Amino acid sequence: MVEYIVPGNMNDRLLAQGAQVLAEGGLVALPTDTSWSIVCSFKSPEGIKKLRSLSGEREERYFTLLCSAIAQFGEWCQMDTTRFRLINRLTPGPYVFILKTLRGTEKALGLRRKELGVRIPNHPVALGITRTLGLPLYSITAKRSMIPGFQGDPLPADPDTLELPPIPEEELFQEAWELDTIDGLDLILDSGEEQMRIFSTILDISGDAVTLLRQGAGIWPA
């Protein structure tokens, strides 16, 4: 189902509809400040199962926690003044920050590692849905290989690190109607914009220094 939403004048009914779909274990495709994302509620086992199935080889260890404010992930991740200031300076924006989780977070969130990628996108629709639901969202990048019958090269994991190669930008979508061919989506929020086919910048701030893992839309050093 495709619903049209105006970023500059968002309909509260549509935000509530999207939040309800997520609360009930559904998947929603929405625009961000980079490419299209597919999200579920991070507290929905059913939604996580669907998102994991849709992501294929990119299991939940590759999910990014999409939030509307630092406070939404502050209770799960290790944070100090330096990290807070960096995140606060660069958000909302096209950055993913890798942080170490607090003790017990892996069990509480069903994680398979002690780090978590977090993101606060600079897009009113993504922020509006997250605020309306009142919870962070697990998110993955929408890509053409999710379309049934897609003919393309597989993206095998590195046998030593289990890391997957980056998704080619030509696999990304621009128009909302293109996502309608992906099975399992319960709602597509179409902002009427042509999305950029670009990735976010990934910064690992889990250690003593900032490590650039992927250069994307976000400028670094900033």
pLDDT classification of 118: cutoffs 50, 70, 90: very high
Whether pLDDT at 13 is above 70: yes
Output the CA angle 143-113-66, nearest 5 degrees: 45
Query: Each residue of 177-221: pLDDT tens digit?
Result: 999 989 899 999 999 888 888 889 999 999 999 999 988 999 999
Q: For residue 222, is it within any domain? A: no
Q: For residue 187, is it within any domain? A: yes
More confident residue, 88 or 198: 88
Query: Each residue of 67-78: pLDDT tens digit?
Result: 999 998 888 888
From CA 158, how far away is CA 195, in angstroms rounded?
30
Q: Minimal CA–CA distance to 198: which of 221, 177, 219, 222?
A: 219
Q: For residue 220, is it within any domain? A: no
Query: Each residue of 124-145: pLDDT tens digit?
Result: 999 999 999 999 999 999 988 8
Q: For residue 20, is it within any domain? A: yes
The set of residues, in sequence order, having a beta carbon less than 8 Å from that of 189 and lying 6+ positions away, is 3, 5, 14, 18, 28, 29, 30, 31, 125, 129, 176
What range defines the domain where residue 162 resides? Answer: 2-214
Tally of domains within the chain: 1
pTM of the model: 0.87
More confident residue, 158 or 10: 10
Q: For residue 26, is it within any domain? A: yes
From CA 132, how far away is CA 162, in angstroms rounded?
35
Q: For residue 221, is it within any domain? A: no
Q: For residue 115, is it within any domain? A: yes
What CATH number should be reported for the domain holding residue 166? 3.90.870.10
Span 50-71, average pLDDT: 79
Predicted confidence at residue 19, as pLDDT, reads 97
Q: For residue 195, is it within any domain? A: yes
